[in-house]
Amino acid sequence: MSLIRRAVGRMLFSKRAFDFFQRLGVHVTQSHFYSPVPDTRDLERRADLWETDSEMPGVDLRVDQQLEMLRSVFARLRHECDFPLHDTGVPHQYFILNGAFGLTSAAVLHCMIRHLVPRTIVEVGSGNSTYVAARAALMNGSEGKSTRLIAVEPYPNDTLRQGFPGLTRLIPRPAQEVGLSLLTDLQAGDILFIDSSHVVRMGNDVLFLFLEVIPRLKKGVVIHVHDIFFPRPYPREWVVRQRRFWAEQYLLQALLVCNPCFEVLWCGSLMHLKHADALRAVFPPPEGLGAGEGYESSSFWMRKVG
């Protein structure tokens, strides 16, 4: 049996085999402690992994300040977040049950844009969030406060390609190919909105943004990162069933540990987990929205302060 296993291993894990399968869009690699792909059998056995919240040592989540923002800033602007529940047929109109960007993520994005009134928003990863941002930017403009919205999206849908009111510019390339200046020229009060590939991989957008862009941002720039689930790991369903082996939130947590250069403004997952009543008081789920359907948020906001 061991001879057969070694023979099969030599065939499957050779460079020639790897290159062949890669051309087919598949990576065949060994299950090994060096591999970034976890053994899902081990994860299935680790119930504690999914049920234990991280204490987030060294990270000040500023919960009191988050609650204050919810009750003052967001409550003041919530009447503007009257998003439709279903698709209206208008391609660039955000609707809640889109399956990707839920109500509270959209509402907080809208409120941040209306509250901060940024001159420029650079969005890395575009789609439903772009429709929300464009609408808020138009509202700013109607009050004489111009907001440019630049979308960096390597795989734009037809709506983004055609353009729509509120979207200033589309750059259909990966973030790591647009150059530093577009991102590092952002000024205090501007927004860098990140909805990336979420994986930590050599040469990709996540490493470019976290290691090259964010450290160079000016004081006062506000940063959003999507699909962050602090204080919990990525959802079990995503990892074990859907095979999403993401690591961006762990890189973000490492960035924040004992780092006075950033202050947390909002952690949607934490608010849902620990302060659901306060959240629902400000953003009540609309009639027709089922439990756990299009409401929960995984948006994380922080500001560069050092």
Please provide the distance, in angstroms rounded to a whole number, between the alpha carbons at the two ends of the chain: 59
> Residues 188-221: pLDDT tens digits?
999 999 999 999 999 999 999 999 999 999 999 9
185: left (phi over 0), alpha (psi -120 to 50) or beta: alpha
- Band (291; pLDDT cuts 50, 70, 90): low
pLDDT recorded at residue 59: 98
Q: Which of 44-58, 88-102, 258-272 has the lowest mean pLDDT?
A: 44-58
**Which architecture does CATH list for 38-304?**
3-Layer(aba) Sandwich (3.40)
Residues 6+ apart with CB under 8 A from 289: 85, 96, 97, 103, 295
pLDDT recorded at residue 47: 80
Mean pLDDT in residue range 140-146: 98
Check residues 36 and 141 and name the one with the higher pLDDT.
Answer: 141
Q: State the pairing for strand pair 120-124/191-194.
A: parallel
- Rounded CA gap, 201 and 208, in Å? 10
Average pLDDT for the chain: 94
Q: Which of 57-66, 147-156, 235-244, 288-297 has the lowest mean pLDDT?
A: 288-297
pLDDT recorded at residue 30: 81
Mean pLDDT in residue range 157-180: 97
Percent of the chain with pLDDT over 70: 97
- Band (33; pLDDT cuts 50, 70, 90): confident
Mean pLDDT in residue range 9-17: 77
Beta strands across the sheet bearing 120-124: 169-171, 148-152, 120-124, 191-194, 222-225, 300-304, 262-267
- Rounded CA gap, 224 and 67, in Å? 18
- Rounded CA gap, 175 and 278, in Å? 36
- Band (9; pLDDT cuts 50, 70, 90): low
- Say whether pLDDT at 1 is over 60: no
- Say whether pLDDT at 4 is over 90: no
- Band (14; pLDDT cuts 50, 70, 90): confident
Mean pLDDT in residue range 35-43: 86
Mean pLDDT in residue range 156-165: 98
The 3-class SS string of the chain reads CHHHHHHHHHHHCCHHHHHHHHHCCCCCCCCCCCCCCCCHHHHHHCHHHHHCCCCCCCCCCCHHHHHHHHHHHHHHHHHHCCCCCCCCCCCCCCCCCCCCCCHHHHHHHHHHHHHHCCCEEEEECCCHHHHHHHHHHHHHHHCCCCCEEEEECCCCCHHHHHCCCCCCEEECCCHHHCCHHHHHCCCCCCEEEECCCCCCCCCCHHHHHHHHHHHHCCCCCEEEECCCCCCCCCCHHHHHHCCCCCCHHHHHHHHHCCCCCEEEEEEHHHHHHHCHHHHHHHCCCCCCCCCCCCCCCCCEEEEECC
pLDDT recorded at residue 113: 99
- Rounded CA gap, 17 and 210, in Å? 33
Check residues 1 and 33 and name the one with the higher pLDDT.
Answer: 33
Delimit the domains of the chain by residue range. Answer: 1-30, 38-304
Matching residue, tokens 């750059």: 171
- Rounded CA gap, 102 and 106, in Å? 6
Mean pLDDT in residue range 42-60: 90
